Amino acid sequence: MRRNARILIALAAYAKRWNFTESVIVKERMRQDALHLKRATLQVILRTAFRTSRVAGVPRGRGVFYLHDSVGAYHLMTKRLLALYRTSHSGLYPRLAEVLGDGLPLRTAHAGS
């Protein structure tokens, strides 16, 4: 997720070619989401590696909170990027939505139809 976050930010920066103002705003919001994602995943890694939840007296479910937080930040990044491309470059949007997933169920090929 962390590597993909950098790619998503680069795609938002690429959108400056056709919509400078909106892409700068979206890129900054996504950069903040990426920082949130990095902090949350670091907490998950540290809590898993060092088992700090039990040692430090932190409630057990706290690690799950950070995991959920990191997934939520990544999801926001993808949705922001898709919204930027939907409004700014409708030609590239379908392919990006296909690659990132548009939140809809996956389309499957009909076998034998």
pLDDT attached to residue 16: 87
Confidence of residue 88 (pLDDT cuts 50, 70, 90): confident
- The domain containing residue 70 runs over which residues? 2-97
Per-residue pLDDT reduced to its tens digit, 30-50: 999 999 889 888 888 887 777
* 60 within 8 A of 53, measured Cβ to Cβ: yes
Residues near 52 by Cβ (< 8 Å), separated by ≥ 6? 46, 58
Confidence of residue 57 (pLDDT cuts 50, 70, 90): low
How far, CA to CA in Å, does 106 sit from each of 59, 85, 92, 101, 113?
37, 20, 19, 8, 18
Residue 100 has pLDDT above 70, yes or no: yes
Nearest to 30 by CA among 43, 42, 15, 17: 15
Say which residue, 24 or 107, is predicted with more confidence.
24
Say which residue, 90 or 12, is predicted with more confidence.
12
3-class SS of residue 109: coil
Average pLDDT, rounded, for the chain: 80
Cα distance between residue 107 and residue 55, in whole Å: 46
Mean pLDDT of 1-24: 88
Residue 110, in any domain of the structure: no
Predicted TM-score (pTM) of the model is 0.73
Residue 21, in any domain of the structure: yes
Count how many domains the chain has.
1
pLDDT attached to residue 50: 74
Residue 11, in any domain of the structure: yes
